[in-house]
Amino acid sequence: MSYIISDFRHPNAKVNDLGLSKRDYEGALSTLCAGCGHDSISAAIVQSFFEMNIEPHKVVKTSGIGCSSKTPTYFLGRAHGFNSVHGRMPSVSTGANMANKDLQYIGISGDGDTASIGMGQFAHVVRRNLNMIYLVMNNGCYGLTKGQDSATADVGSAGKKGVANQFAAIDLCQLALQLGAGYVARSFSGDKKQLVPLIKGAIEHQGFAFIDVISPCVTFNNTPSSTKGYEYVRDHLDATGTIDFVPERQELKIIHPEGTSKEVKLHDGSKLILKKNSHDYDLSSKREAMNTIETVREEHKILTGLIYLHEDPKDTHAKINSVDKPLNSLSQAEVCPGSAVLDDLNAGFR
Amino acid sequence: MKETNIKNVSYFHKVVDCQYACPAHTPVPEYIRMIAARRFDDAYMINWESNVFPGVLGRTCDRPCEPACRRGRVEEQPVAICRLKRVAADHKSDITDRLPDIPTEKNGKRIALIGGGPASLTVARDLMPLGYHVDLYDDQYKAGGFMRSQIPSFRLPETVLDEEVNYILDMGVNTHLKQKVSSMRSMLEKDYDAIFVGTGAPRGRDLPKLEGRQEANDNIHIGIDWLANVAFEHTESIGEKVLVLGGGNTAMDCCRTARRIGGKDVRIVVRSPKADMKASPWEIEDAEHEGIPMFENHTPKAFVCENGKLVGMLFELVKAKYAENGRRSLVPTGEPDVLIECDDVLMALGQMNSFPWIERDLGIEFNDWDMPEVDKTTFQTSLKNIFVGGDAAWGPENVITAVAHGHQAAISIDKYCHEKDTRDRPPPGTTLISQKMGFHDWLYSAPVSDDLRFVVSHVDTELALSDRKIEVEKGFSLEQGLKEVQRCLNCDVQTVFEKDKCIECDACEDICPTDCITFIDNDEEDILRQSLKMPADNLEQSLYVSAELKTKRVMVKDENVCLHCGLCSERCPTGAWDMRKFLLHEAKAGR
């Protein structure tokens, strides 16, 4: 019986700029079903944070309820974590972010946790442009309760029970776009080459970064009749240009022939290099992004890759004009400066 | 790269590094698991079938398996394979009822074995159950050969050796002990169906031309002869100051023996740097532990005598220089020569073969080094009924190599006696069986222990030095042994991939603790090796490549540091990975 992973790692395993090994970014051994797409996403998160040289203890991972929301246990074991109430990950993240804005926030949610019970919270955290990564592990079903169709299941898609879904699907990327997210991407758990640069870009992005990751549920929704199974998704992928993430300090190594790629600069000077393809459109145009999603859908395909990027320098803190220091580091005297200051304030309103 | 053909048994054989490295191909992980299950008799018999002398080898083997052990590539130290063999031997019960039945009706073939060492005894062990009549000749009064005369009792108790030698002799081997064979012609006249020569490499090197060699002769001894004399109790003492020349295992045995029978100031002197000494590291360590200093870069210049008696040796100081091609030369440093006082000198400078007793006109071809020409596969000489194995064949090796030779020679002899082609070698017996019991349940212990190699305890040095027959190593306690076995990575439990079942979910790639698995676009081997998740830099280890998958990629597994933990299989939703135990039993005579 083994739910145990050995402590041994490859003897030539490298360390990152902080001197940490990849192991320092791993978590406990997953107890999800064998072959679950969520585990691949966890591995992509581990790889991204490792390669981005982010200290694990400066990361906060939050989640709600569901298979997806179990995964923070399986990555970044040394980060802060909060496994909250179903659909309430956004408010917990908001609270934590209010208390300490210096940390890196990654919220993990599922299609049930976001598109059903947590829809309200999701809408508002996008609106507020909270500085966080919001990653949905989207398998189109309620895996933890035996695979009922979720709100992201496509019309006509049938899981293990064989009954086709009749209700319209919510497209979380379109919703995020509409609500004002500055970074919107979609990917597939089985395509780390695309997913890892997208997560890295989201880490660097200042403000709300949304990634919808299609992640097949091997147990309940990996049937030939499902539009969220491994085979269907692989056959119907249609990506915006392939992406390389280039950190600020690093030299550009990947040279695409002139005119075939474009650079997207992030606020800190790091870049996303996109190889152009037939979906070459202005990534900062919400309308074109919406259009492309729809056009590709009409072809019965799934648009993946970076869909929209427009950095809004004003995240929640900027919008509410909070102080520069993290609130949790303010002293009692700073938070509660006393009755004299209150009197002055009140006097100002007279 | 082409798809790996796992049906070719040599592919998985190579993955079991320890077994592959062992000359006799002992199924190491299999017996280690038997120990874990406290099935000591079974563990012993797996060894006995393969290497004939588990108790002896569990103490004295040169351990070619341990440097090969995969564990040594993921942490500092390999599994203590050799000492686990001893655990099996120490804890077994009476196994005589498991020994093969010897037919009372013989097959009418008569075989002579010349020399009673491990090679000859192995031939006897393999041929006796087939109904052969076997005559064994040895010049000593007990069989065992160098295992008896060269390995001191403080490393190998006589009782252990006797027991394992007697398992074979008690099969009904006709022994002709204390009979030195001095003529092959006379042996041929005895009309044997086949003769096996296992006479070892019995001549120790000398320094015949060194100044003072003749004058000091009384106090200069050839190491291997001297050890034999001590073993057979012809020599019982030595001077207080002893110099041992040479840096091999014989030198270590000489100095440690000298310490036990009167030597107080025993020193080892070697021509080369200490790092180049041939002795096994653990034997050097044991000698040092007994307070024996080693002097490196001292080249013997002269034996110094006073009044016709040895009083010391003169050495020239040298320095090793390495040419570009790696060849070493020892260059004098020009410092004044060093005189080291001594009462006796033991020379352990290497051994040579010697066949003065084989007449050169019998039809046995001899080569330029005056050694009989022996076929590397069949162990046959140009005189077809004469076979040679062990150190006698190609010079000094070790016990386990001699055993391997014995097995192969027995196959040849059996074929020869039945007029079959000796070149037609029987294939090994192999099985490949799934170990799956349930979702996370395996027939083997899949989790990998983090324990570091356990250290075998020794008896108190003072006590050890007081009696040359007290065994120095105590062996693992049962408790230690049962923990040490868990360090084994079960490399014989193979990861078998069925590409038609794979849905490319990447779960195996993600979970593999040592990043062995990569799904990637196929390419030439050298490019592929560099483009994997972790570069596959150990070129001695194979890449396991699948046929093309649906996405046009292939699965590539670098066998190098696979822990055989089974997680790839446990995380596979479709059973595309399975853990299957690959057992390889080397072919034996008559099967």
Please give the pLDDT value at position A259. 62
Check: CB of residue A206 under 8 Å from CB of residue A105: no
**What stretches of B327-467 adopt beta strand conformation (E)?**
328-332, 338-341, 344-347, 351-352, 386-388, 429-434, 436-438, 441-442
Element (H, E) at A204: helix A192-204
Nearest to B447 among A2, A222, A234 (CB): A2
pLDDT value for A311? 80
Measure A312 CA to nearest chain B CA, in Å: 35
Chain B residues in contact with A11 (beta carbon < 8 A) = 73-74, 561
User: Residue A256 above 70 pLDDT?
Assistant: no
B324 min Cα distance to partner chain A (Å): 29
- Mutate: best of B450, B487, B505, partner A, most A CBs <10 A: B505
Q: Which residues of chain A neighbour B504 with C-beta distances below 8 Å?
A: 190, 230, 234
Domain annotation covers residue A332: no
- Angle (CA) B360-B365-B367 rounded to 5° is 100
Cross-chain Cβ contact A9/B514 below 8 Å: yes
* 3-state SS assignment for residue B71: helix
- Extents of the domains making up chain B: 102-202+353-417, 204-349
A3 inside domain: no
**Dihedral sign of CA atoms B458, B460, B463, B464 in order:** positive
Q: Cβ-count burial of A252 within 10 angstroms (0-12 exposed, 13-18 middle, 19+ buried)?
A: exposed
Residue A1 has pLDDT above 50, yes or no: no
- Has residue A19 got a pLDDT over 50? yes
Indicate the range of A141-155, A245-259, A330-344, B388-402 predicted with least confidence.
A245-259
SS3 track for A5-26: CCCCCCCCCCECCCCCEHHHHE
Angle (nearest 5°) at CA A65 between A64 and A68: 90
CA gap A150, A143 in Å, rounded: 9
CB contact under 8 A, A6 and B505: no
Cα–Cα dist A304/A319, whole Å: 31
CB A217 within 8 A of CB A141: yes
Q: Phi, psi (5° rounding) for residue B332?
A: -60, 140
Enumerate the β-bridge partners of residue B331. Answer: B319
DSSP 8-class letter at B111: E
Q: CB of B302 within 8 A of CB of B314?
A: yes
Measured between CB atoms, does B571 come within 8 Å of chain A? yes
Backbone angles phi, psi at B143, to 5 degrees: -80, 165
Give the gap in angstroms from C-alpha A13 to the nearest C-alpha of chain B: 7
Q: Is residue A152 part of a domain?
A: yes
- Are the beta carbons of B74 and A11 separated by less than 8 Å? yes
pLDDT in the model for residue A254 = 47
Question: What residues 490-549 of chain B have any CB closer than 8 A to a CB of chain A?
Answer: 503-507, 509-511, 513-516, 534-535, 537
Q: Identify the pLDDT of residue B197.
A: 96
Interface test with A, best of B70, B440, B510, B565 (most A CBs within 10 A): B510
Tell me the mean pLDDT in the region A48-54: 96
Q: Are the beta carbons of A5 and B506 separated by less than 8 Å? A: no
Average pLDDT, chain A: 91
> Cα–Cα distances in Å, from B447 out to A3, A43, B511?
8, 21, 14
DSSP reduced 3-state for A292: helix
**pLDDT per residue over A262-299, tens digit each?**
777 777 777 777 776 777 888 889 999 999 999 999 99
Q: Split chain B (591 residues) into runs of 10 and give each run's mean pLDDT.
A: 94 97 97 97 97 96 96 96 96 96 95 96 97 96 94 95 97 95 95 96 90 91 94 92 94 95 94 91 92 93 92 93 86 92 94 90 91 95 96 93 97 96 95 91 91 94 92 94 96 96 93 95 96 95 96 95 94 94 94 70
Counted domains in chain A = 1
Mean predicted confidence (pLDDT) in A38-51:
96
Residue A234 lies in a domain: yes
Q: If you count residue pairs, one on A and one on B, with CB atoms under 8 Å apart, how many are there? A: 103
Range of the domain at A72: 22-320
Q: Minimal CA–CA distance to B589: which of B417, B452, B471?
A: B417
CATH topology identical between B102-202+353-417 and B204-349: yes
Please give the pLDDT value at position A273.
75
Query: Cα A266–A271–A274 angle (5° rounding)?
Result: 115
Nearest residue on chain A to B513, alpha-carbon basis: A9
Closest CA to B355 of B395, B385, B382, B383: B395
Distance CA B256, CA B269 (A): 14
Distances (CA, A) of B335 to A320, A348, B338, B339, B564: 85, 97, 9, 12, 56
Which CATH number does the domain housing residue A162 bear? 3.40.50.970
Domain B102-202+353-417 fold is FAD/NAD(P)-binding domain (3.50.50)
User: The domain B204-349: what is its CATH number?
Assistant: 3.50.50.60
Q: How far is CA B283 from CA B61, B80, B176, B255, B349, in A?
A: 11, 15, 34, 11, 16
Q: Under an 8 Å CB criterion, which residues of A touch B?
A: 1-13, 29-30, 33-37, 39-40, 42-43, 189-190, 192, 216, 218-219, 222, 230-231, 234
Query: Which three-class secondary structure string do you get for B268-328?
Result: EECCCCHHHCCCCHHHHHHHHHCCCCEECCEEEEEEEEECCEEEEEEEEEEEEEECCCCCE
- All residues of chain A having their beta carbon less than 8 Å from the beta carbon of residue B75 are 8
Q: What is the pLDDT of residue A251?
A: 53
What is the predicted pLDDT for the residue at A263?
75
Classify the C-alpha dihedral A114-A115-A118-A123 as positive or negative. positive
ipTM: 0.88
Answer for the pair A82, A60: CB distance below 8 angstroms, yes or no.
yes
Distance (Å) from the C-alpha of residue A145 to the closest C-alpha of chain B? Answer: 19
